[in-house]
Homo-oligomer: A and B are copies of this chain.
Amino acid sequence: MVGDSPLLVSFDLVGIFVFAISGGLVAVRKQLDVFGVLVLAGATGLGGGFLRDVLIDATPPAALDDWRYLLVPVAAGLVTFVFHPTIGRMERVVSVFDAAGLGLFCVTGALKALDYGLSPVPAALMGMLTGIGGGILRDLLAGRVPVIFSSELYATPALAGAAWAVLAHEQGWTLAVIAIPGVLLCFGWRVGAILRNWRAPIARGPASV
């Protein structure tokens, strides 16, 4: 989806792979069949980018015309299907990779939105959506309230990384200076949230019905 830089494409594919594994794990735990595992893996890995592409009018999504973007989630789904007991026990490790994927998606998503002419604020929001959209779609398809709404901080780091990318892009800095601090900002914040259980506040007072 990013196009030209081989480094960004590699990182993007790694992000899709790890997101797809998280989707596959949810499907296995829901006792879905192998097709359900592949669909949830694909939706989780590619969903955020598809949502962004539909909203910024970058259709058909580039992922539909690049076999690597289709092969990676299928591979991740099959790996999860076969090795799910092992992967399930490594969930802490998976969530660190997931944080890396989040970091990259929020940056590449924001840059692509800028490329398509969006202003800074909506571009940052599209970066956040690219990062969190796949997980939301996964949870909808699996019939549960999206976990990002009630787990440790997830969207805030994605928005921060995307905002960095947008601001740095506005300065005309090089791709490395735009991307690397943005990815690290999101990744570090998210890993900190996992390790230290940082959470966003919930509303005080009785939740009237």
Contact = CB atoms under 8 A, between A and B. Distances in A.
A203 B78 CA distance: 10
Contacts of A93: none
A122 B55 contact: no
This chain: copies in complex: 3
Contacts of A156: 35
A201 interface: yes
Interface residues of A, number: 63
A55 B54 contact: yes
Interface stretch (A12-20, A95-103, A142-150): A142-150
A10 interface: no
A39 to B, nearest CB: 7
Nearest to A63: B122
A34 to B, nearest CB: 5
A81 B205 CA distance: 10
B65 A122 contact: yes
Nearest to A59: B57
A209 B25 CA distance: 9
B70 A64 contact: no
Residue of A59, A154, A156, A209 ringed by the most chain B CB atoms within 10 A:
A59
Contacts of A67: 121
A29 interface: yes
The 7 closest A-B pairs by CB, nearest first: A88-B208, A36-B149, A33-B200, A57-B59, A64-B122, A143-B145, A32-B149
